[in-house]
């Protein structure tokens, strides 16, 4: 393509040189003959003008001295002189090789102004012709420059198209060597260049129409072979990288969540150990052996005595809560042996007997009445089992099933990270106790499982034949802390209930 541009530039320069030579020769040919010193009258000038008609002399000036019989006679000179003046040819036969000629002087211009009307018309005609030729030359020059710009633009487009296509398409199309095709200004070469330019334009138009169809597969599906294989591999590689990054982010998030949960559990364990150590230092040497030989005692009804379980509960879909209770109420209700509240729900799990009402089990503010009785002021083993499936519940007293039901907060899971209080009913998370709902008496062996125990297991615990610690919350000294005057004392329920 660079060679084509150089070739067209050389042709343009040759054409411009020819036109400039034509323009330069016209004013000299159209000038009247020089007057000799000594001058001649107007009659001789007129006779010289009549002897050589205007149109014929103008053509001889354009086509050289060989087109006429001889040079025109000078004004004021005799027809046949003994010493004729040598001829003064203005041009040779070659159009673009002017001979030496002097520019017309002011006197000659005055003579031309006084020439015959035919001379003035011829002069005007030649000047207009020269102006037209000059305009034509300028137009040709502008057109050639426009063609050069078009060729450069097409060359750039072709280069971009070929660089964006597969290698199989870059070499398509015939390439001709024009270095040996004749001379630079031959008509055949010009025609060949025009054909090459048209072929390039057609090819660029075809490529611009075909390239979007190859790239935009959704708009116009193309055969699989027409799409570059490198594009498919690049897309597959990018999709693989994106998927790998998404998986890495998911793994990182899961690892952070697991790490945070593990750290929280470790911190809770460390806090439990520290609290146990503090409790040992505060109480000194105890007369009972942990983990299970103790009880919580609340001597009077108030809103400030209670025990709190330090361990946080997980999310539960079923549970069994078992405990030994001895109520010392005076007949106005047994109060609240335990309550579990979570953020947003103070009555997540509550075991309550208020006033003269029967004992009730509340789960997520849903109520079921339990056929249990603790009014004889003796030790009783109480077990409550519940599952979220259909809201099934069962109530055991002293190892025997006393009642069961369903639709108690069905399909509601017990929420985690709440607060478990022994002896008080919570109206807010961990507080706002009501003295009328407080439990008065003793509590021991409070255990919690994340499933429903079988009747045989419940009976074994109640008979002290098969003790079983809760897998979610075991009855351990370090997990239970007494507040507000509630006391923790050594006690073995299986021995103590016989004495009580």
Q: Which of 91-105, 242-256, 282-296 has the lowest mean pLDDT?
A: 91-105
- Which of 447 and 72 is assigned the larger pLDDT? 447
3-state secondary structure of 211: helix
pLDDT confidence bin for 438, thresholds 50/70/90: very high
Highest mean pLDDT among 16-20, 52-56, 115-119, 466-470: 466-470
**Predicted TM-score of the model (pTM):** 0.44
Tens digits of per-residue pLDDT, 361-417? 999 999 999 999 888 888 999 999 999 999 999 999 999 999 999 999 999 999 999
Q: Specify burial of residue 157 (Cβ count, 10 A radius: 0-12, 13-18, 19+).
A: middle
Asked if residue 431 has pLDDT above 90, the reply is no
Q: Specify burial of residue 322 (Cβ count, 10 A radius: 0-12, 13-18, 19+).
A: buried
Q: What is the pLDDT of residue 228?
A: 62
Mean pLDDT calculated for residue range 85-102: 44
Sorted by where each starts, the structural domains of the chain and their CATH numbers stand as 294-492 (2.60.120.200)
Rounded Cα–Cα distance for residues 437 and 306 (Å):
12
CB neighbours of residue 381 within 10 Å? 22
Q: Which of 46-50, 88-92, 135-139, 425-429 has the lowest mean pLDDT?
A: 46-50
What percentage of the chain exceeds 90 in pLDDT? 32
Are 137 and 14 in contact by the 8 Å Cβ rule? The answer is no
Nearest Cα neighbor of 464 from 324, 287, 288 is 324
Rounded Cα–Cα distance for residues 342 and 419 (Å):
7
Mean pLDDT calculated for residue range 274-279: 72
Give long-range contacts, CB 8 A cutoff, 24+ apart: 3-9: 3/178, 3/179, 4/151, 4/178, 4/193, 4/196, 4/197, 5/148, 5/151, 5/152, 5/155, 7/178, 7/184, 7/189, 7/193, 8/144, 8/147, 8/148, 8/151, 8/193, 9/148
- Which of 208 and 300 is assigned the larger pLDDT? 300
Asked if residue 202 has pLDDT above 70, the reply is yes
Q: Specify burial of residue 407 (Cβ count, 10 A radius: 0-12, 13-18, 19+).
A: exposed
Asked if residue 109 has pLDDT above 80, the reply is no
Rounded Cα–Cα distance for residues 147 and 153 (Å):
10
Written as six digits, the tokens of 85 are 């003046």
Q: What is the pLDDT of residue 315?
A: 94
Supply φ then ψ for residue 224, to 5 degrees. -60, -35
Asked if residue 332 has pLDDT above 60, the reply is yes
- Which of 473 and 114 is assigned the larger pLDDT? 473
Mean pLDDT calculated for residue range 277-303: 69
- Which of 317 and 159 is assigned the larger pLDDT? 317
Asked if residue 10 has pLDDT above 70, the reply is yes
Rounded Cα–Cα distance for residues 228 and 166 (Å):
6
DSSP category for residue 69: S
pLDDT confidence bin for 467, thresholds 50/70/90: confident
Q: What is the pLDDT of residue 66?
A: 41
Q: Which of 6-10, 20-24, 114-118, 345-349 has the lowest mean pLDDT?
A: 114-118
Q: Which of 186-190, 239-243, 338-342 has the lowest mean pLDDT?
A: 186-190
Are 491 and 444 in contact by the 8 Å Cβ rule? The answer is yes
Rounded Cα–Cα distance for residues 175 and 416 (Å):
80
Q: What is the pLDDT of residue 308?
A: 95
Residue-averaged pLDDT of the chain: 74
- Alpha helices, DSSP H, located in 33-184: 42-51, 54-63, 106-113, 117-164, 167-170
Q: What is the pLDDT of residue 445?
A: 93
Q: What is the pLDDT of residue 380?
A: 92
């Amino acid at each position: 393509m660079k060679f084509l541009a150089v070739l067209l530039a050389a042709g343009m320069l040759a054409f411009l040189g020819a036109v400039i030579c034509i323009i330069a020769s016209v004013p000299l040919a159209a000038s009247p003959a020089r007057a000799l010193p000594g001058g001649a009258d107007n009659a001789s000038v007129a006779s010289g003008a009549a002897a050589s008609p205007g149109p014929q002399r103008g053509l001889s000036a354009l086509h050289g001295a060989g087109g006429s019989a001889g040079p025109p006679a000078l004004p004021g000179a005799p027809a046949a002189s003994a010493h004729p003046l040598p001829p003064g040819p203005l041009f040779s036969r070659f159009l673009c090789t002017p001979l030496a000629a002097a520019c017309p002087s002011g006197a000659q211009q005055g003579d031309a102004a006084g020439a015959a009307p035919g001379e003035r018309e011829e002069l005007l005609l030649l000047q207009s012709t020269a102006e037209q030729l000059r305009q034509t030359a300028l137009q040709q020059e502008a057109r050639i420059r426009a063609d050069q710009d078009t060729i450069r633009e097409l060359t750039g487009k072709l280069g971009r198209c070929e660089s964006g296509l597969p290698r199989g398409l870059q070499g398509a199309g015939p390439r001709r060597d024009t270095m040996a095709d004749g001379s630079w200004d031959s008509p055949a070469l010009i025609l060949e260049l025009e054909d090459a330019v048209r072929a390039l334009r057609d090819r660029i138009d075809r490529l611009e129409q075909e390239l979007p169809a190859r790239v935009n597969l959704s708009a116009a599906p193309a055969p699989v072979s027409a799409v570059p294989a490198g594009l498919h591999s690049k897309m597959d590689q990018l999709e693989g990288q994106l998927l790998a990054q998404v998986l890495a982010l998911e793994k990182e998030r899961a690892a952070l969540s697991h790490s945070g949960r593990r750290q929280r559990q470790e911190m809770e364990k460390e806090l439990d150990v520290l609290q146990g150590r503090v409790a040992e230092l505060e109480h000194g040497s105890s007369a009972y052996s942990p983990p299970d030989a103790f009880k919580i005692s609340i001597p009077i009804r108030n809103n400030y005595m209670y025990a709190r379980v330090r361990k946080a509960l997980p999310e539960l879909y079923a549970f069994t809560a078992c405990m030994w209770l001895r109520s010392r109420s005076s007949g106005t209700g047994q109060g609240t042996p335990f309550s579990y509240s979570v953020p947003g729900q103070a009555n997540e799990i509550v075991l309550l007997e208020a006033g003269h009402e029967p004992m009730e089990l509340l789960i997520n503010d849903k109520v079921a009445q339990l056929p249990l009785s603790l009014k004889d002021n003796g030790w009783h083993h109480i077990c409550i089992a519940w599952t979220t499936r259909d809201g099934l519940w069962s109530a055991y007293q002293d190892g025997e099933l006393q009642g069961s039901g369903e639709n108690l907060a069905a399909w509601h899971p017990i929420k985690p990270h709440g607060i478990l209080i022994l002896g008080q009913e919570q109206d807010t998370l961990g507080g706002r106790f009501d003295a009328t709902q407080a439990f008065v008496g003793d509590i021991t062996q409070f255990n919690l499982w994340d499933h429903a125990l079988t009747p045989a297991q419940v009976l074994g615990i109640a008979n002290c034949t098969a003790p079983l610690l809760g897998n979610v919350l075991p009855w351990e000294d370090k997990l239970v802390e007494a507040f507000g005057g509630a006391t923790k004392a050594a006690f073995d329920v299986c021995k103590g209930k016989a004495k009580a």
